[in-house]
A and B are shown apart, each in its own frame.
Chain A
Amino acid sequence: MTKSKVLFILVLFIHVTIKAQECNYTFNGVVEDFHDKTAISDAVVYVKNQNKFTTTDVNGNFSFKNICKGKIIVEISHVACDTKRLEFYLNENTFKEILIEHHIEELETVTIKSNSILKTTQESVLKTSAIENLSDASLGDVLKQISGVSSINTGSSIVKPIINGLHSSRNLIMVNGVRLQDQDWGIEHAPNIDVNAAGSISVIKGANALEYGGDAIGGVVIVNPENIITKDTLSGKTIISQQSNARSFSVNSSLRKSYKSGWFVNGLASYKRYGDANTPDYSLTNTGLNSKSFTLQTGYKSFEKGFELYYSYITNEIGILKASHLGNTADLVNAINSPQPLLIKDFSYDINNPKQDVTHQLTKAIFYKRFRGLGKLNFQYDYQDNHRFEYDIRTGDDKFKPSIDLRLKTHTVKADLKLDSNIERILKIGILAGYQNNFPNSETGVRRLIPDYDKIDFGIYTIGNFTFDNLKLSGGLRYDYNYINSKKYYYKSRWDNLGYNQTFASFIIKEEGNQYLTNPIFHYHNFSASAGASYKLNDKNTILLNYGLAKRPPNPSELFSDGLHHSASRIELGDLSIQPETSHRIGASYMFSNAKFNSTLEVFFNQISNFIFIEPGGIETTLRGSFPVWNYKQTNARLTGVDLTMQYLINSNWALNNNTSYILGDDLLQNRPLIDMPPFKTVNSIAYNNKKWLNFTSTLESEFVGKQTRYPNNNFYAYIPTTDSTVLVDISSTPKAYHLLNISNEISFKYAKTNFSLGFSVNNILNTSYRNYLNRLRYFSDDLGRNFKIQLKIKY
């Protein structure tokens, strides 16, 4: 026995003797799981201020004798639980029932990432490291790492995710539990998110995540901040990157402080500055980006209750390729026929018109409480304010005035109750209500693109998850009510031309010169449902099958569009009679994994009735010249596709990866392909890692994108008066296939308790000239050329 131990016992002995006459009480109890009250064995119970230990038996029972009267401090710890601390005054023999928390939720988050827990949805998760490497990129570019997810772009800064062939309003983006409301209907409207605020991002394909919405015909993107750890820590992270293409600079820094008591406060700030990007041969004039954002998060987290306040602010000023701004069809023909943009200037960081300037603010408050043996109740309020300015090339006094000034404000309240006392039979019910107001400022001096409207949403849902030995079943039902009340001016000529004087005459409330003020009001009732099953055949093989029924009401752009769209050089017309679209989607997956090989094969079949799309029909002439008119219409559509992900570990140093996806989209009424379907894509990479060399990792990646051979023919003939000729305007043909090579290298090391990692990568190593079918600027310019990037990550 060592000296100190002897001393310790001596002290203890003295202590006990002093209070000897009062130390004859017993303290018994039982330790149980908070959720289902099952007994917890082998938990350590420690009476701290009297230095007594014991462990619980198989029934969770423990017992102390000879406990002294007075204040008692007890700590209960267990390998898979939070340590619990209790304080009470003991003046008689006492029995206590102590409930402790298994880390069920934490375990769930961890295991989803390693894909070993059974899921009934086709879900893919990007971990923090995958997001950090693209800290200077957009959400759309980050998500492209997932097989089956691609993007539709307007240049390199406006990137919208496509999930299994569908984008914009058909996908739903959740940011820290809040459904992003940022005018997602337009192809040029990129999601306003700073990816650095994400700890993980998951994509759920299809409408099987009903708790987020019943209209996610494409899928759901879930952006979650890093988990809060209830420990006394202060940590931070800074990522700095610089790229040669666009001469971009990006920095973001975060600080996280949390306390063992459960309180936490986090902050993050990001700054990105891009100049004009360049293709292998020329500069893309006016394609800069200036982005600033910050996020604040604070709250209290314990097992039984907690709250969180979250605020994020992001502002993006994005230049639009100058040569893509067109006056009329003749300009479009000139631009398409020119092998390179008609305006090329030297590199600059300046962002001139045409440009976008969008600010998005998100405020959220959430409160939760757990009820013993029942479950967890969440109550949330969130408010979003999206303010979008778009600047065109204008003249005179209007030169610096925006052409579009839209402000979209959304309030949502929601509550849900998760009944998880039996972890194998989880039931969740939820209810939500939202109010949204859109205000288009009339001071722009340009007729409103999207009208004034008030919108009310109400939703109620229930979902259940049932786990049996190797089988997991899930099901859900949801009902949504949407009410939209808008006020919109139509030219009388347009109103009559669309036939609204027959069908919607009752909407007119006022005449104003050559315009009608109308008050269209719509109600939509939507039912959605999901069902899924996954079955683990054995340790290596798992299969999954699910079905989703989703309904999406038309968005404001599909209903109300009415005017000239400059970058597309076309007149776009919505239709007030458009009905909600309904999707039936069946998904099936097969997963195989052993020590060396991991793969997921996903197939889907999505049948959409009343699919809303836009197509050309006719030509209109104005003093600017002639324009094709594109009308929103409905058809029946079918999308089928396959997504494959494979990873093979050759040995502890070398690994091979493959991501492949292929999709077919068809318009069943017109018996022709759907527009904007992602072409065949396969990404193969070989990675080398050596832990001994400062954890050196090098990945060589080959990206092949095929030519989309299935597309609708929307070409038209136009008379060009200046040349007195009629020409075919080819807006349909797709670019040829391309192949890109990329390499990325990284080392990481620790110095003075700080983790550093240094990355160096090259994209498009061969400086290949290519055009991407899903980039709207493909008519005017090539895509990006070779890009060198260095990145430094510091974690402290």
Chain B
Amino acid sequence: MKSQKILLIAFLSLITLASCSDDDNNPLPVNEEEVITTLEVTLTNGTTTVTLLSTDLDGDGPNDPVVSVSGNFEKGMTYDGVLKLLNETESPAENITEEVEEEALDHQFFYSTTNSIATFAYSDEDTDGNPIGIEFKMTASADAGNGKVTFTLRHEPNKNASGVKDGDITNAAGETDIEVTFDVVVE
């Protein structure tokens, strides 16, 4: 029957169509543009520098971040801190800190500790006079000990909510972009 013939032809042409589009037409790889692979915290006191580094090159892949702490902190000392965010899946690595600075009103870092191992104070501010937290001061505890320090970056937080300007994350809301914890020692 005629229509069966048409059907057959249509079916065959579909197969041909399908196989044509197959030939070596490989999709391009996607290198995540916004993925933050690296958080580097540099803490300086005079000539002493301690670097906290967390790197996760497979983004939301299964590998855990590689975390390193270059040294111990001295009790009671105050360090000038700077945070740096990188996307190292791109070459050269892309500096994401710049994007955070450009959208300072929509970002804020928070610092939390266990065992009261250190205290933090913001050293920078956005155009509204609220903290960003890329630059800060960290004062190590007066007594020696161990503890955890967590750096959190919130996107679109409510900076006017109670306590947020002072670095309390409880009411900040927004979406977490970074949450990295380091084990530190004060001696």
Q: Which residues of A contact B (CB under 8 A)?
A: 323, 325-328, 330-331, 334, 342-343, 377, 379, 381, 393-398, 411, 413, 415, 431, 433-435, 437, 440, 442, 444-448, 451-452, 454, 456, 458, 485, 487, 489, 491-494, 497, 509-510, 512-515, 517, 563-564, 571, 620-625, 627, 721-724
Q: Are A446 and B30 in contact (CB under 8 A)?
A: yes
Report if B63 contacts A (CB, 8 A): yes
Q: Are A433 and B150 in contact (CB under 8 A)?
A: no
Contact flag A517-B175 (CB < 8 Å), given A379-B3, A433-B11, A622-B60 = no
Contact flag A623-B178 (CB < 8 Å), given A445-B34, A448-B30 = yes
A373: shortest Cβ distance to chain B, in Å?
Answer: 16
Contacts of B156 in A (CB 8 A): 393
Q: Which residues of B contact A (CB under 8 A)?
A: 3-4, 6-7, 10-11, 14-15, 17-18, 21-22, 26-34, 36-39, 54, 56-65, 89, 96, 99-100, 102-103, 106-107, 110, 112, 114, 148, 150, 152, 154-156, 158, 169, 173-181
Name, among B34, B56, B65, the residue most crowded by chain A CB atoms within 10 Å (CB to CB): B34
* Docked CA distance A458–B175 (Å): 46
Contacts of B15 in A (CB 8 A): 435, 456
Q: Across chains A and B, which 4 residue pairs bring their CB atoms closest together, nearest first?
A: A327-B176, A445-B33, A625-B179, A396-B99
A sample of 12 cross-chain residue pairs with beta-carbon separation below 8 angstroms, ordered by A number, consists of A323-B173, A327-B174, A334-B173, A393-B156, A435-B15, A447-B32, A517-B27, A622-B56, A623-B37, A624-B177, A721-B179, A723-B112
Q: Are A721 and B29 in contact (CB under 8 A)?
A: no
B142: shortest Cβ distance to chain A, in Å?
Answer: 20
B178: shortest Cβ distance to chain A, in Å?
Answer: 6
* Docked CA distance A328–B36 (Å): 14
Contacts of B181 in A (CB 8 A): 721
Among B64, B96, B169, the residue within 8 A (CB) of A620 is B64
Contacts of B11 in A (CB 8 A): 413, 433, 458
Q: Are B62 and A435 in contact (CB under 8 A)?
A: no
Q: Are B155 and A396 in contact (CB under 8 A)?
A: no
* Docked CA distance A435–B114 (Å): 58
* Docked CA distance A458–B7 (Å): 12
Among A397, A437, A445, A571, the residue within 8 A (CB) of B32 is A445
Among B21, B22, B176, the residue within 8 A (CB) of A328 is B176
* Docked CA distance A625–B36 (Å): 12
* Docked CA distance A500–B37 (Å): 25
B77: shortest Cβ distance to chain A, in Å?
Answer: 23
A138: shortest Cβ distance to chain B, in Å?
Answer: 28
* Docked CA distance A543–B107 (Å): 65
Among B3, B22, B175, B180, the residue within 8 A (CB) of A325 is B175
Nearest CB in chain A to that of B16: its residue: A435
Contact flag A454-B22 (CB < 8 Å), given A326-B175, A493-B62, A621-B65 = yes
Nearest CB in chain A to that of B114: its residue: A724
Contact flag A435-B179 (CB < 8 Å), given A444-B30, A491-B58, A513-B89 = no
Q: Are B176 and A395 in contact (CB under 8 A)?
A: no
Contacts of A447 in B (CB 8 A): 30, 32, 59
Q: Are A722 and B169 in contact (CB under 8 A)?
A: yes
Contact flag A512-B176 (CB < 8 Å), given A721-B181, A722-B169 = no
Nearest CB in chain B to that of A377: its residue: B3
Q: Are A379 and B99 in contact (CB under 8 A)?
A: no
Contacts of B179 in A (CB 8 A): 327-328, 330, 623-625, 721-722
Contacts of A415 in B (CB 8 A): 3-4, 7
Contacts of A446 in B (CB 8 A): 30, 32-34
Q: Are B60 and A396 in contact (CB under 8 A)?
A: no
* Docked CA distance A585–B139 (Å): 68
